[in-house]
Amino acid sequence: MMPIAARLHLWPWSCASGDETVDLSTGTAHFDFYGSPVISLIEGSHIFLSSRQERFIALGPPFRSIIDGLICQLYQTPQGVISNGKKGGKLHVHHDATRSFLNLEPEGALPRFEGSDAGGKPLDSELATTILYWAQYFDELLEKAKKGNAQSVHLDWTKVLAHLLALRDQETGKPRRALIVDIAERMNRRLSQTVLAARRILIRERRLLPAGRLEETDSSCLRWLIRQPGNSVPEKAGPRQHLLGIARKETFDVHENRILKDFLLRCREEGRRYVRRSFVENPAYRATSRVQMVQTYSNLCVQLSRVAHLDQVELPIPGTAPNYVLLHDMRYKNVWQWYKKLLRRAEEEDRLWDWQARTWTDIARVLVSLALVNHVRELSEGGKIGLKDICQASLRLHGEQLLGCRAASGSEPGPLHVIFRDNDELRAQGVLEVVHPDLAEQHSIVSHLGAMGGHLYLVIRPLGHHHPAEVIVLWAVHTAAANDPPDWMHVGESAEAAIKSYQTVLNLGRFADKPRVRGLVLASDLQAKTASCEVEKKNLMLLTVPTEPRLWMTAVEDITLALDELLQEIFAWA
């Protein structure tokens, strides 16, 4: 039993909809899964993923629930709860020093693994593979940011857009890039040399040696000799005529070689996985140079891992710190760098899967931000709506995912100067502010919109007129994680109804600057090859967006047009 008010909402906007809300007071809930359910909890509670003790990050500012008038807070649910079933399906909630458990039992979530390979290892599902590509996309952005300054985590939005353009233009018809591709490209030539000329050391050990070959002893050996029965040395040497002495031995079993061996094994596995994934994606990819290269590299790893002198090398103890050789020897330094990335990727895979809905919202925010940048570049002149940068901003990236998110809050572009023209005549002006839900509490308008569960807010404030501010709420729903695609019209109606009911609540609210609200829904679609506008209403647009990063540029263009239309609607009063 839950001692506090807790509810699950099937869509992020469903807070006010009784039909789309499931009461969690019993501690267990059966519900239909559409990709991005959210949980609303009474303020002051904390919710954790039981399997990793990860504390959830709130979505947007707190709000007063329409249902019971309590101050509540929204949280996005992790995919691990939904699809892992027994493994990680539990959440626990802390409130006032009491802890209670939640068990969610959804219907219609895609699994992480599908079937198994010849060795019995489970194979990644298409969705799981896609999510790895999302992580790869952010890694590439981070690498780009670090060009020129290894400390930098900032990348100009124009460069992010350029990267997406390059991704579209260059990568069509090729299998996707992955970490193993980078490793294969850079390590293919060097690895053989490193393994074949692996570092070895000479160690001294005490062992029984034939008496005639004894060259060196020490005090321990002498003590051993004294303890042996017999009066003379030959007598003490016994029937086999062996004495304890010091022998020198060459060994490869050192820390750097243990890492090297583990690296080879991991590269082999990762290479096989990549080739398999590429083949599943498109059998024709097997013939591409990229897959061929990874295949060759994987084979090389297999061969090198079987080199005789690595047989005696044991596997490293997890978490062991690097030694001097790994940090400073040029050959091993490279191995260590890539090995670290491989390890981190392996560690992150579980988390990425669990928090994929948050990753999708992160991506949606990036896409909308890019759409604004694209609008400034492409549509600022000539069209009815012109956007101009007041200041410049850059995307700030996290080195590691933060509950699925890689883009830092507050690094969205803007504020932008919005100019509305009609027949080349300036009709109205405004300022567009982009508000991340993590910072919404600090925003004078968006702080009142916590119940909307928006993943990004575009606030347009008219300049020089007493027209109310308008807010475009972005909802990024991860419908790709659901078994069957939903009925888009139905989804659109649900969102529109939510907007209407929120607008009514806002109009009744006691605060200044009551805004008018519109919605933009970006739904992920695993099968889609292009973005398409599924629902277009006066105050809402629903676009499906492909999950494949190479197709995101087209999505950005479509979102740009959608935003342009919404802005035109907003300035229709002028």
Taking the CA atoms of 103, 104, 107 and 113 in sequence, report the sign of the dihedral they define: negative
Report the nearest approach of other proteins to the CB of residue 388 (Å).
9
Q: Which stretch binds other proteins (CB under 8 A): 205-213, 297-305, 354-362, 457-465?
A: 457-465
Is residue 435 packed enough to be buried (19+ CB in 10 Å), middle (13-18) or exposed (0-12)? buried
Residue 303 sits in the site that holds other proteins (CB under 8 A): no
442 lies in the binding site for other proteins (CB under 8 A): yes
The answer to whether 159 contacts other proteins (rule: CB under 8 A) is no
Q: Among residues 12 and 462, whose Cβ is nearest to other proteins?
A: 462
* CB nearer other proteins, residue 107 or residue 400: 400
Smallest distance, Å, CB 394 to other proteins? 8
Region from 11-19, 228-236, 391-399, 492-500 binding other proteins, contact rule CB under 8 A: 391-399
134 vs 549: CA distance, rounded Å: 7
When asked if residue 149 is in the footprint of other proteins (CB under 8 A), the reply is yes
Which lies closer to other proteins via its Cβ, residue 111 or residue 410?
410
Q: Does 426 participate in binding other proteins (rule CB under 8 A)?
A: no
Distance spanning both ends of the chain, measured CA to CA: 54
DSSP 479-527: GGGBSS---HHHHHHHHHHHHHHHHHHHHHSS-SSPPEEEEEEEEEESS
Binding residue for other proteins, selected from 201, 284, 426, 463, defined by CB under 8 A: 463
Provide the CB-side half-sphere exposure for 140 (13 A, CA).
22
Check residue 435 for interaction with other proteins (CB under 8 A): yes
Q: Which stretch binds other proteins (CB under 8 A): 75-83, 298-306, 389-397, 485-493?
A: 389-397
461 makes contact with other proteins (CB under 8 A): yes
CB 541 within 8 A of CB 520: yes
Between CA 354 and CA 78 the distance in angstroms is: 5
- Rounded-to-integer distance, Cα 452 and Cα 449, Å: 6
Q: Is 391 in the site for other proteins (CB under 8 A)?
A: yes
With beta carbons less than 8 A apart as the criterion, state whether 536 and 566 touch. no
- Contact pick of 393, 472, 540, 562 for other proteins (by CB under 8 A): 393
Query: Is position 293 an interface residue for other proteins (rule: CB under 8 A)?
Result: no
Closest to other proteins by CB, 462 vs 486, is: 462
Would you count residue 70 as binding other proteins (CB under 8 A)?
no
Identify which of residues 154 and 168 has a Cβ nearer to other proteins in the complex.
154
Binding other proteins (rule: CB under 8 A), the pick from 26, 116, 444, 483 is 444
Q: Which stretch binds other proteins (CB under 8 A): 170-178, 325-333, 370-378, 433-441?
A: 433-441
415 binding other proteins? (CB under 8 A): yes
Residues touching other proteins, count (CB under 8 A): 26
Residue 318, both tokens: 């997890």
Check if the beta carbon of residue 459 is closer than 8 Å to that of residue 446: yes
Q: Tell me: does residue 299 bind other proteins (CB under 8 A).
A: no
Nearer to other proteins, 102 or 474 (CB): 474
Q: At what angle do helices 179-196 and 255-281 cross, to 10 degrees?
A: 140
List 439, 497, 505, 533, residue binding other proteins (CB under 8 A): 439
**Which residue has 């809300």 as its token pair?**
21
The three-point CA angle 69-75-81 to 5° equals 125
Show the tokens assigned to 99: 């802890």
Query: Which CB, 392 or 527, lies closer to other proteins?
Result: 392
Taking the least distance from each CB to other proteins, the nearer of 420 and 488 is 420
Nearest to 470 by CA among 498, 449, 455: 449
Cα 554 vs. chain centroid, distance in angstroms? 21
Joined together, the tokens standing for residue 28 give 């267990």
Q: Taking a C-beta distance cutoff of 8 angstroms, is the pair 42, 485 a contact?
A: no
Q: How many CB atoms lie within 10 A of CB 215?
A: 9
Tell whether residue 390 is a contact of other proteins (CB under 8 A).
yes
**Footprint of other proteins (CB under 8 A):** 149, 151-152, 389-393, 410, 412, 414-415, 417, 431, 433-436, 439, 442-444, 459, 461, 463-464
